[in-house]
Structure 1
Amino acid sequence: MAAREYGQYCGVTQALELVGERWALLIVRDLLVGPRRYGELAAGLPRIPSNILAARLKELQAAGVIRRAPRSRIVIYELTPYGRELEPVVLALGAWGFKAMGDPREEQIITPDSMTITLRTAFRSQVAAALPATAYAAHVGPTDLLVRVDGPALSVTRGDGPADLAFATGQDIHRLISGDLAPERAIATGVVEVLRGPADLLDRFASTFHLAA
């Protein structure tokens, strides 16, 4: 029996043997946002040692979760259809973990891909379906995301652009998403700075993206 096997005939055991190694699910999380080059994966996981990243990529390829896809002169990594089946698992795990996050520590960061997955996790499509289409330019620390909500459809892309509401915030955005901090209070206390657009659209954002803490 290999050292990483648990010796049990069980679906949960098999899943853990495939994606339960440290960093593996975070690689999957980032690839759920989109295909990535090796360097992009390393930049999105700044604490992962290069030998561990290389090992996890090989393991996930061997498991049929990801694949290497040559594109012109570069090689990218992307999820296979089997790997994409992990999306509801990752989102559910993120919602579960959100309840225990507490206050951010100084050394903790928000990456574009981690924030994108947080927004996907918190997105309430049934609420959004009853609201007008809205675009948000969210500047979360160094992360710039353009968030477009059109009925039950959500699109999150990197960068800035035309938006109905542009705002800047930091790690405390989790307090807004959890409902711990009302939108008007978030603005009054400086947790959120409205850069352009009507401030009351932050109420719409908070209604559209919500996770109970």
Structure 2
Amino acid sequence: MRYEQHCPIALAAEVVGEPWTLLIIRELLHGSTTLTDVARGVPSMSGGLLTKRLRKLETAGLVTLQPPERPRSAELTEAGRELSAVVETLGAWGARWLPPPRHGDLDPALLLRDIARGIDRSALPANAVAVHFRFAESPGPRWWWLVLSRTVAAPTVHDPRLPQAMRIDCTLGALARSGSVTRTGWKRCGRRPS
């Protein structure tokens, strides 16, 4: 969309204001590099639209796309990384002023992925452990695990058969509400895509 205004806000909105674009930037800011990993963070977005948005971000100088090798990857440029403050501020604003997500809007995979991204892996044990989540009500699988070690912090629906550090029984809504808004803004990022 073109606003045809000289205003820097209008010019910036032409680049980052399209649907999905800020969520793609959020994924790249949180360490996703391959298009497959970015797509996991925006599961309702088609692959074609993801590629189209990334090409537009590349043209605007916010992203560098690597040649189409397997797996294809993208990296934020300095200009793209400077959007970190914008994304964090927008997340904090949304957490403060927007209503909490409805039960049907919560996605356990996205919520646990966002929580895992905010974990300081250097504080974790060298040998992997698991945190078992059992959700009282969930639109998807009710049993989830976070696999945690210094090299990994990732959710899975498959029992990793690791020592269990703890088990958490709760609802998705309770888990989403329990976190404070942090640098990663996970409290509001676990919504199911609409």
Output the TM-score relative to the length of structure 1.
Answer: 0.58
Q: Does 1:92 align with 2:89?
A: yes
Give the CA deviation at 1:113. 4.9
Task: Give the direction of change, closer, same or farther, for the CA distance of 1:83–1:6 in structure 2 (3 Å limit).
Answer: same
| Partner SS, residue 79 of structure 2 | helix
Gaps of 5+ in 1: 124-132, 149-154, 180-205
Q: Does 1:79 align with 2:81?
A: no
Task: Give the direction of change, closer, same or farther, for the CA distance of 1:104–1:10 in structure 2 (3 Å limit).
Answer: same
Q: Distance in 1 between matches of 2:30 and 2:131?
A: 17
Task: Say whether the 8 Å CA contact 1:29–1:90 is kept in structure 2.
Answer: yes
Give the CA deviation at 1:103. 4.2
The equivalent position to 1:29 in structure 2, one of 6, 26, 31, is 26
Q: Distance in 2 between matches of 1:7 and 1:48?
A: 28
Task: Give the direction of change, closer, same or farther, for the CA distance of 1:88–1:7 in structure 2 (3 Å limit).
Answer: same
Cα deviation code 1:141-188 (max 9, x no counterpart)? 74726498xxxxxx984368899x645353422322259xxxxxxxxx
Give the CA deviation at 1:38. 2.1
Cα deviation code 1:78-131 (max 9, x no counterpart)? 1112111111111111111112141433243152554456x48xx9xxxxxxxx
Q: Does 1:65 align with 2:62?
A: yes
Task: Give the direction of change, closer, same or farther, for the CA distance of 1:93–1:167 in structure 2 (3 Å limit).
Answer: farther
What number of residue pairs does the alignment pair up? Answer: 161
Gaps of 5+ in 2: 136-143, 188-194
**How do residues 47-196 of structure 1 correspond to structure 2 at under 5 angstroms?**
47-70=44-67, 73-99=70-96, 100-110=98-108, 111=110, 113-115=113-115, 119=118, 135=124, 142=144, 144=146, 146=148, 157-158=153-154, 166-168=166-168, 170-178=172-180
Give the CA deviation at 1:210. 10
Report the AA paired with residue 35 of structure 2. Answer: Y
Task: Give the direction of change, closer, same or farther, for the CA distance of 1:72–1:51 in structure 2 (3 Å limit).
Answer: closer
The equivalent position to 1:7 in structure 2, one of 4, 9, 23, is 4
CA-based RMSD: 3.9
Output the TM-score relative to the length of structure 2.
Answer: 0.63
Report the AA paired with residue 12 of structure 1. Answer: I
Q: Percent identity?
A: 30
Task: Give the direction of change, closer, same or farther, for the CA distance of 1:175–1:59 in structure 2 (3 Å limit).
Answer: same
Task: Say whether the 8 Å CA contact 1:6–1:13 is kept in structure 2.
Answer: yes
**Which structure: larger Rg?**
1
Give the CA deviation at 1:20. 0.7
Task: Say whether the 8 Å CA contact 1:30–1:114 is kept in structure 2.
Answer: no
